[in-house]
């Protein structure tokens, strides 16, 4: 008699799926495992200050890992271009939230963050993409990630520019509070960085 198959461990399945997606992303783009780890730490610190629930903290941790997964569908020459993107290349780059959202929707274990991936490049002032969401129309997790991701991008070298000093990056966060960033989240992040002396969290 054939043995009854054991139910698949959904957590193990999700972990394997995430690992595979991230391996593809890291190989193709300039995103790194260290970047994802730092984002997770920044987002966790902000989430703690906001008193987020454990479910919300898990959600934002997953978003920090997979927000840019749609870049697997963008041409490598665009992802690794050392100079400024042409308007056509920029239009293609701006498709990555849609691509990432479709990938997440196709995987049951990632369904919950598909809308967050779609919304992670929206701006507080409504000038983001792809939907032009404004203010609190943007999911809270995305507003948190926007601050953390921008800060980490500024203080690390990119193919198209050198890293800023942390103090300069903090000034940029402060200057863009209320336009690019949720001002409350920006203020909390600046407080965290000043409390930690600009050291890694």
Residue 6 included in any domain: no
Q: Summarize pLDDT for 40-50 with one digit per residue, the tens.
A: 999 999 999 99
| CA distance readout (Å), 119 to 15, 76, 79, 139, 170 | 23, 23, 20, 7, 23
CATH number at residue 30: 1.10.3210.10
Residue 129 included in any domain: yes
Looking at residue 141, its pLDDT comes to: 97
Whole-number percent of the chain with pLDDT over 90: 64
Residue 18 included in any domain: yes
For 103, the domain range is: 13-195
Q: Summarize pLDDT for 140-195 with one digit per residue, the tens.
A: 999 999 999 999 999 987 666 678 899 999 999 999 999 999 999 999 999 999 88
> What token pair was written down for 37?
């780890």
Tell me the CB-side half-sphere exposure of residue 178, using CA atoms within 13 A.
Answer: 2
Number of domains, the chain:
1
Burial of 162 (0-12, 13-18, 19+ CB in 10 A): exposed
pTM (2 decimals)?
Answer: 0.87
Residue 3 included in any domain: no
């Amino acid at each position: 008699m054939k043995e009854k198959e054991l139910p698949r461990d959904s957590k193990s399945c999700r972990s394997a799926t995430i690992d595979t997606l991230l391996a593809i992303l890291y190989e193709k783009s300039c995103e790194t495992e260290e970047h994802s780890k730092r984002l997770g730490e920044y987002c966790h610190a902000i989430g703690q200050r906001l008193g987020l629930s454990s479910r919300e903290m898990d959600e934002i941790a997953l978003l920090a890992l997979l927000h840019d997964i749609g870049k697997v569908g963008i041409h490598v020459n665009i992802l690794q271009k050392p100079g400024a993107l042409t308007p056509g290349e920029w239009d293609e780059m701006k498709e990555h939230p849609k691509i990432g959202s479709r990938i997440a929707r196709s995987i049951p274990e990632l369904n919950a963050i598909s809308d967050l991936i779609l919304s992670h490049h929206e701006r507080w002032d409504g000038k983001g993409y792809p939907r032009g969401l404004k203010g609190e129309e943007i999911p809270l997790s995305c507003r948190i990630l926007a601050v953390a991701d921008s800060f980490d991008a500024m203080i690390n070298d990119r193919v198209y520019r050198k890293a800023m000093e942390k103090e300069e990056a903090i000034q940029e966060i402060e200057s863009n509070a209320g336009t690019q960033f949720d001002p409350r989240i920006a203020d909390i992040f600046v407080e965290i960085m000043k409390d930690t002396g600009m050291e890694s969290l």
